[in-house]
Chains A and B, each alone.
Chain A
């Protein structure tokens, strides 16, 4: 059973470009979460999605960031017009269908974004 997959593992973008990060949840999981780890900081929640629905985006920056989880295909975290402060490790997690909070989240290997 493959785990959570993220690609690319490393991404370099110049200031002003767009970054697209992809996440394929574990088989049978329909809940996806994105977290960000800034240098020297802990992990912070960004957004929680189910298929075709954004459930909680309270951790997303108001501008330039968006996320989707279409009916078919991976979840995408999109960052427009990247700035140096966006350089971080972005982790995706998934969980099976279940009641609120009472399930384990499984993490992918992360995408390390570097903005030059």
Chain B
């Protein structure tokens, strides 16, 4: 099956700092999503981004489909950004999301 690698696995940020999370796929995907799992365990959809760039407030994401990677940018981080960020993709001809192991982000005041 498809392999999804996320880096860095752990990240500690000072409030107000910017960061970049990366997701690499072992094969081409035709569906790519980013999620935030908050400290209460809920999965929040952040972006559906099989290609291109999208922005939503302080978050933005870029996917370069031809090189099989995606980046999630967090700007001016806040303590509420803490949690685990997952990326996931669907292989062509498939329907199931394959998840990475996540980026654990802690934002300290």
Name A residues whose Cβ lies closer than 8 Å to a Cβ of B. Answer: 31, 33, 35, 41-45, 48, 55-56, 58-59, 89, 91, 93, 100-107, 109-110, 112
Bound Cα distance A58, B90 (Å): 14
Q: Which residues of B have CB within 8 Å of A105?
A: 33, 97
Name B residues whose Cβ lies closer than 8 Å to a Cβ of A. Answer: 29-31, 33, 35, 41-43, 45, 48, 50, 86, 88, 90-102
Bound Cα distance A8, B4 (Å): 31
Q: Which residues of A have CB within 8 Å of B43?
A: 43, 91, 107, 109-110
Given A42-B86, A42-B100, A43-B86, also A101-B41 (CB < 8 A): no
- A101 touching B92, Cβ below 8 Å: yes
- B101 touching A45, Cβ below 8 Å: no
Q: Which residues of B have CB within 8 Å of A101?
A: 29-31, 90-95
Given A101-B30, A101-B31, A101-B90, also A106-B97 (CB < 8 A): no
Please indicate which of the listed interface residues B42, B91, B100 has the most CB atoms of chain A within 10 Å of its own CB.
Answer: B42
A59 nearest CB neighbor, chain B only: B96
B89 nearest CB neighbor, chain A only: A101
B93 nearest CB neighbor, chain A only: A100
**Set A42, A43, A55, A104: member contacting B48, Cβ < 8 A:** A104
Q: Which residues of A have CB within 8 Å of B96?
A: 33, 45, 48, 56, 58-59
The 6 A-B pairs of least Cβ separation, nearest first, read A45-B96, A104-B48, A101-B90, A107-B43, A43-B99, A42-B99
Bound Cα distance A109, B91 (Å): 25
Given A43-B86, A43-B88, A112-B41, also A103-B97 (CB < 8 A): no
